[in-house]
Amino acid sequence: MPSLAKAITSFSRAERILAALFGLGFVLGFLLTPLGVETRMHQLRTPAFAGFFITVGLLLPLAGLILLFVRRPKLAGALAVIDASLLFLTAPADQARFFFTVAPPPRVSIGEYILILVGIGYMLYGPRVYAQNRLLTERTIGKQ
Give the residue numbers spanning the domain of 18: 2-143
pLDDT at residue 71 is higher than 60: yes
Partners of 100 in the beta sheet?
A: 44
Separation CA 134–CA 97 (nearest Å)? 41
Report the chain's mean pLDDT, rounded to a whole number. 89
pTM for the model: 0.85
User: CB neighbours of 54 closer than 8 A, spacing ≥ 6?
Assistant: 33
pLDDT at residue 19 is higher than 90: yes
CB 83 within 8 A of CB 92: no
CB 140 within 8 A of CB 36: no
Question: Residue 138 has what pLDDT?
Answer: 64
Separation CA 142–CA 42 (nearest Å)? 57
Q: What is the DSSP letter of 104?
A: P
Choose among 54, 57, 3: nearest CA to 27.
57
Helices 73-95 and 60-69, packing angle to 10 deg: 160
**pLDDT digits 0-9 by tens, 75-110:** 999 999 999 999 999 999 999 999 999 999 999 999
More confident residue, 7 or 81: 81
**pLDDT digits 0-9 by tens, 54-68:** 999 999 999 999 999
Q: What is the DSSP letter of 40?
A: -
Q: How many domains does the chain have?
A: 1
Indicate the pLDDT class of residue 139, thresholds 50, 70 and 90.
Answer: low
CA 118 to centroid of chain Cα atoms: 7
